[in-house]
Structure 1
Amino acid sequence: MKNEIVWMIIGMALVTYIPRMLPFVLFKGKELPPFLQGVLKNVPYATLGALIFPGILLIQKDIWYGLFGASAAFIVSFLGANVIVTVLGSIAVLALYSLLPH
């Protein structure tokens, strides 16, 4: 393996490890303010939304395809179904939608 690739892997490992390690070192034994705790609890949901939303709009040329699938998933999950049922419900709605003449 070339030296450049080895150094690139080491660099990527450091860039990945340092941001994950720093909060543990800097905030060890300290209590974060309640407001900041609330903000940090919502970061995974905001990130997930930012990753999923463009995919909903760009899954096919027909924008309704993604919107119907997302709506079906939202409704099924809002009714309390688990993840598997939510995904299968969305797939079923999109399968029916794809059978319709366009």
Structure 2
Amino acid sequence: MNPLLAILVMALTTYLIRMLPLVLFRREITHPWVRSFLHYVPYAVLGTMTIPAVFYSTSSVVSAACGLGCGAYLAYREKDMVIVAVAAVIAVYLCELLL
């Protein structure tokens, strides 16, 4: 395949994704359900990209689940991000030692 054609297709796709909302929605979105839905889209996309990678980042799915569970619990308890990350790494390390 021609590399210039591939670059052109990718550029066009990226442009359309960014341009279409500006063209289609000229007024401010005021509907509460739509605003709420759009508020959570970045978090859903980030979770969709991150969670599968977590399970393939260790040598065992069990240790990955242990680290994810530890991190999710501490994040739910509103701990600092550094504490959450370090605790998740320690949980994975200890779980790997036990396995």
Structure 2 counterpart of 1:79, from 70, 77, 80: 77
TM-fit CA distance, 1:63: 2.2
Work out which structure has the larger RCO, using CA pairs closer than 8 Å and 6 or more positions apart in sequence.
2
Higher Rg of the two aligned structures: 1
Tell me the distance in 2 between the aligned counterparts of 1:11 and 1:63.
Answer: 37
Structure 1 counterpart of 2:89, from 88, 91, 96: 91
After superposing on structure 2, the runs of 4+ consecutive aligned residues of structure 1 that deviate more than 4 Å are: none
Structure 1 counterpart of 2:53, from 47, 50, 55: 55
Q: Does 1:23 align with 2:21?
A: yes
Q: Deviations for 1:39-58, whole angstroms, at most 9, x for unmatched residues?
A: 11121222222223323444
Identity %: 27
Q: Which runs of 5+ in 1 are unaligned?
A: none
TM-fit CA distance, 1:60: 4.1
Aligned length: 98
Structure 2 counterpart of 1:66, from 64, 67, 71: 64
Check conservation: 2:70, 2:87, Cα contact below 8 A.
Answer: yes
Q: In the alignment, residue 5 of structure 2 is paired with which amino acid? A: W
Q: In the alignment, residue 51 of structure 1 is paired with which amino acid? A: M
2:44: which partner in 1? 46
